Amino acid sequence: MKRISIDPITRLEGHGKIEIFLNDEGDVANAYFQVPELRGFERFSVGRLAEDMPVITNRICGVCPEAHHMASVKALDMLFGVEPPPAAKKIRELLYMAFYVTDHTTHFYALGGPDFIIGPDAPPSERNILGVIRKVGLDIGRQVIDCRARNHHVIEMLGGRGVHLAGGLPGGWSKSVSEDERKEIEEIAKKNIDFALFSLRIFDDLVLKNKQYLDLVTSDVYLHKTYYMGTVDDKNRVNFYDGMIRIVDPDGKEFVKYSAADYMQHIAERVEPWTYLKFPYLKNVGWKGLVDGIDSGVYIATPLSRLNVSDSMATPLAQEQFERMFEAFGSKKIDGKSNGRYQPIHHRLATHWARLIELLYAAEHMLELSRDPEITSPDVRRIPQRIVGVGIGSVEAPRGTLTHHYVSDERGVLTSVNLIVGTTNNYAPMSMSIRRAAEKLISKGRIVEEGMLNRIEMAFRLYDPCLSCATHFLPGQMPLKVIIRNSSSEIIRTLQRD
Amino acid sequence: MKTVVIGLGNPILTDDSVGIRVSRVIGDLLSQQPETAESSDTIEIKEVYAGGIRLMDAMTGYDRACIVDAMVTGRFRPGEVSEFRLEDLCSTRNISCTHDTNLSTALEFGRMLGLHLPTTIKIWGIEACDVTSFGEQLTAGIEHAVPVAVSAILSALFGELQIDAAADENVNVSVNVEGAIP
């Protein structure tokens, strides 16, 4: 059996490794995306005071500390048996919307967007944010920087610190919002809406009106009929901060809707001999391997899945875009009614479009929250009076559903900790997408080198995986390397991008 | 001249925290110096937890940047401190499978937009052992690298400042870090 190894060594967030196995006929038998996982978080946490977790877990990752902070503080609400006042929940959500705006903006312009704005076959030296600026104009670069800066300002204002925010406490939030702060956030939210609409127009003009790119988005290269996961509110609308976890099957039928606290009844983790990673899957469907279909428990948790499980968006402009996207893919309403859910979109590259719709929703919801009369209430904390001993908190992180599960003794000292991070949900589907990309380029022993790295990168980039949450950029070279081995594991060819 | 010293890494990921520890020691040492109101030379200490555009953001507004980070190359002995130039590290601008982009691309992005970015960027890498386990202690061999790196960075800082600031040798220092976890 031939083995092709693609080894991306990145400068920022650790690295992953892609292994492609060929069968005796020279076709792709399997593809695996191996992520170097961080170890020992439970050991690190056990014995600490539970209330320290929001300021510990937000150090797990330099990219999404806000998501860990929110999941953690929600777990503490449950562990201490305390319900935060409405204003505290709204402040948390307001901050979380600002985080989503920065995160989705960065992904689209710096990482995902270049594949379309510059083109999937453009040289990698152009397929980056510099290429985007050259194509769309310098002003867009300034807008990206301004968008990041103003929303980081909101995060710092509400969270007390810029990166490792400290606002979350069991039972509430550590500071209230002043009227001056509220007014400033309202103006920022308006700018965010304009920016989100502008970004969707760019997507329209440069992707949807370009036949080549539209064909790529709607082709079967990255198509998988899996289950989908996302958090929905009481009207089955997308919600990033709170709600029930909804799973729909590949036909769009609701499979289950459950409280995050019950996640262990629905999600199991599969261990495979070739990797130390655990693959989450739907326990009540079962593990059938890295395959799609209604009998396979593989699911995804991404911007696309969140839209697939939802009946609608909670804000008007995002709802318009939601309808446009599903109708562009020919999706019909599940129940034939005008206000029902659409059939899911299985084309994974639509995730980039879904991410922009979520960006607009986050901006609109930020404006709603900033105008909520309760947002400036000084009542932002209920002091915990007891220790329940078990806390499970869940939010939609930009990269998928994030769950924190803590168990403590009667003093509030942690005895057990389990996290399911966003990227983990997508390990199996990422491998499946990489395999699908490889199958198009490898046939009967013939390996098309041209474009292989790009197409495989595109397969996992759309999931925006966290590849280890480490921050190294040293030594900062060799972003991609392909090693092709013969059946004796000898290297017969090496492809390397300079 | 405005200088920023950046400790890069994850503060709870064993040896990945070494850059942050070095920056904290430098901050402690410099904050013991008497502050002078007149000097135009300043040194700020920052902790940064992610690369790419976030790292570029942290360097905006400075004339000179010193970055210290862990690295795992297999080419050096654990704990060995090496100095690099940006061009040594990032000869390409390939987009990489990260959440945004690499540092050289981020810097070029910032310069295209006219941001005030350092003209001098020095980078120290400390060969690490364990960067995938959670822990607040450095492994034994890496602990010894901290004073070596501190000394190297201070030499670079003050060697140049004595030349650049012949008329004004006083330097103001501010430390801008979030502190250790509880």
Q: A497 to chain B: which residues are within 8 Å by CB?
A: 92, 94
- Chain B residues in contact with A145 by the CB 8 A cut-off are 110, 113, 115
| Res B162 pLDDT > 50 | no
Residues of A in contact with B16 (CB under 8 A): 470-472
Under an 8 A CB cutoff, do A10 and B98 touch? yes
From chain A, the residues in CB contact with B123 under 8 A are: 474
B19 is a domain residue:
yes
The alpha-carbon gap from A332 to the nearest alpha carbon of chain B, in Å, equals 34
Residue among B12, B49, B105 minimizing CB distance to A129: B105
> What ipTM was predicted for this assembly?
0.83
- pLDDT given for residue B64 in this prediction: 95
Q: Cα distance from B97 to chain A (closest Cα, Å)?
A: 6
Query: What is the spatial distance between Cα A489 and Cα A183, in angstroms, rounded to a whole number?
Result: 64
> Is B66 inside any structural domain?
yes
The encoded tokens of residue B124 equal 């120290």
Mean pLDDT of B43-53: 88
Q: How many CB pairs under 8 A join A and B?
A: 202
Residue B9 distance to chain A (closest CA, Å): 5
Determine whether the interchain pair A138/B112 forms a contact, defined as Cβ–Cβ distance below 8 Å: yes
- Chain B CB contacts of A111 under 8 Å are 95, 98-101
In a mutational test of the B interface, the residue from A148, A150, A471, A478 whose CB has the highest number of chain B CBs within 10 Å is A471
- Tell me if B100 and A469 make a contact (CB, 8 A cut-off): no
Would the CB atoms of A473 and B69 count as touching at under 8 Å? yes
Q: How many percent of chain B have pLDDT more than 70?
A: 77
Backbone angles phi, psi at B81, to 5 degrees: -105, 125
With a cut of 70, say whether residue A340 has pLDDT above it.
Answer: yes
Q: How far is A417 from chain B (nearest CA, A)?
A: 13
CA–CA min distance A187, chain B (Å): 23
CATH number at residue B168: 3.40.50.1450
Q: What is the mean pLDDT of residues A453-462?
A: 79
So what's the pLDDT on residue A61?
78
Q: Which of B105, B112, B134 sits opposite A40 (nearest CB)?
A: B134
Tens digit of each residue's pLDDT (9 = 90 or more) over A241-289: 999 999 999 999 999 999 999 999 999 999 877 666 788 999 999 999 9
Contact B173, B42 (CB under 8 A): yes
Mean pLDDT value of segment B93-108: 60
Helix (H) or strand (E) holding B56: helix B53-59
**Looking at the predicted structure, is the pLDDT value of residue A434 above 70?**
yes
A489 falls in which pLDDT band (50, 70, 90)?
Answer: low
**Could you report the per-residue pLDDT of A260-270, keeping only the tens digit for each?**
999 999 999 99
pLDDT of residue B35: 67
Read off the pLDDT of residues B101-118 as tens digits, 9 standing for 90 and up.
778 888 889 999 999 999
In a domain, B28, yes or no: yes
B100–A106 C-beta distance less than 8 A: yes
The whole-number pLDDT of residue A10 equals: 29
pLDDT at A496: 53
* Model pLDDT, residue A389: 96
The residue of chain B with its CA nearest to that of A470 is B10
User: What is the helix, strand, coil percentage profile of chain A, to 5?
Assistant: 40, 20, 40
| d(C-alpha A329, C-alpha A61), whole Å | 35
Res. B45: pLDDT tops 80: yes
A14 exposure class (CB count in 10 Å sphere: 0-12, 13-18, 19+): buried
Q: Of A145-159, B108-122, B132-146, B153-167, where does mean pLDDT reach its minimum?
A: B153-167
Domain assignment of residue B34, yes or no: yes
For residue A12, the model assigns a pLDDT of 27
In a domain, B181, yes or no: no
pLDDT given at position A427: 87
Kindly tell me if the per-residue pLDDT of B182 is higher than 50: no
| Closest Cα in chain A, distance from residue B66 (Å) | 14
Select the residue from A129, A421, A473 to test the B interface by mutation, using most B Cβ atoms within 10 A.
A473
Greater confidence, A43 or B86?
Answer: A43
- The one-letter code for the residue type at B168 is D
pLDDT for res A422: 82
**pLDDT computed for residue B172 by the predictor:** 54
Residue A171 has pLDDT above 80, yes or no: yes
pLDDT, average across residues A97-125: 85
Select the residue of A16, A55, A128 nearest B97 (Cβ to Cβ).
A16
A119: alpha, beta or left? (left if phi > 0; alpha if psi -120 to 50)? left
Q: Which domain holds residue B18?
A: 2-176
Q: How far apart are CA B78 and CA B129, in angstroms?
A: 6
Residue B80 distance to chain A (closest CA, Å): 14
- Class of residue A174 by CB neighbours under 10 A (exposed 0-12, middle 13-18, buried 19+): middle
Q: Chain A interface, mutation test: which of B10, B89, B96, B137, most A Cβ atoms within 10 Å?
A: B96
Rg of chain A's alpha carbons, rounded to an integer? 22
Lowest average pLDDT, out of A76-80, A241-245, B62-66, B128-132, goes to B128-132
A contacts of B131 (beta carbons < 8 Å) = 470, 472
Number of folded domains that form chain B: 1
Confidence of residue A312 (pLDDT cuts 50, 70, 90): very high
The C-alpha of A228 sits at a distance from chain B's nearest C-alpha, in angstroms, of 23
Mean pLDDT taken over chain A:
86
CB within 8 Å: A10 and B8: no
Mean pLDDT, range A49-59, rounded to an integer: 93
Give me the mean pLDDT over the B121-128 stretch: 90
pLDDT at A200 over 80: yes
* Residues in chain A closer than 8 A to B49 (CB atoms): 59, 62, 65, 163-164, 471
Count of residues in chain A: 498
Distance between CA atoms of A393 and A76, rounded to whole angstroms? 8
Q: Does any domain span residue B14?
A: yes
Interface contact flag, A55 B71, Cβ < 8 Å: no
For the stretch A6-19, pLDDT in tens is 443 322 233 556 77
